[in-house]
Amino acid sequence: MNPKDDYITEEKRHALEIELADLEGPKRQEVLSALAYAKSLGDLSENAEYHQTREDQGKLEGRITKIKEILQSSKTVSKTGSDTVEIGSIVVVKKDVKEQESNETKTYVIVGSEEADMSLGKISNHSPFGMALFGKKKGENISFQTPKGVVKYNIISVA
């Protein structure tokens, strides 16, 4: 795997395909119906409902375009069970003991940038932390630059 490529998991691809089908089908029809109704209200220059519906239509079409781009440009990966950190890997790390008194470990999942969500422990392979982890194995030490300085971690396990 090339760490610079864009990746999505099979689960994310499936979720995006479902969202796209919904946006291109029922949601688009909803917006078109609302637009037709707003036009029927008369004078378009002062018709706030019409302008709001046009804005909603623009957002909908923008999201459709974005999803199509993601699906087209991203490589889909499935969990391989490799001992090397790659997309889909579950990585347990511990801060370098010299920098932290606690033996607290943290678990992260390496995902593509579209799936990243730090609150869920999902780290993008394009983030500094994700790039430092990518391609490493259990027992290796990593470091990367943050605004507060260099941070060091030890990789406890890779699944």
pLDDT in tens, 37-95: 988 888 888 888 999 999 999 999 999 999 999 999 998 887 667 789 988 899 999 98
Which residues are bridge partners to 75 per DSSP?
7
Query: Which candidate, 34, 69, 73, 80, places its Cα nearest to that of 54?
Result: 34
Q: In order of start, what are the domains of the chain with their CATH numbers?
A: 7-77 (1.10.287.180), 90-158 (3.10.50.30)
Residue pLDDT, tens place only, 5-44: 788 888 889 999 999 999 999 999 999 999 999 888 888 8
What pTM did the predictor assign?
0.72
Query: What is the 3-class SS of 49-84, one letter each residue?
Result: HHHHHHHHHHHHHHHHHHHHHHHHHCEEECCCCCCE
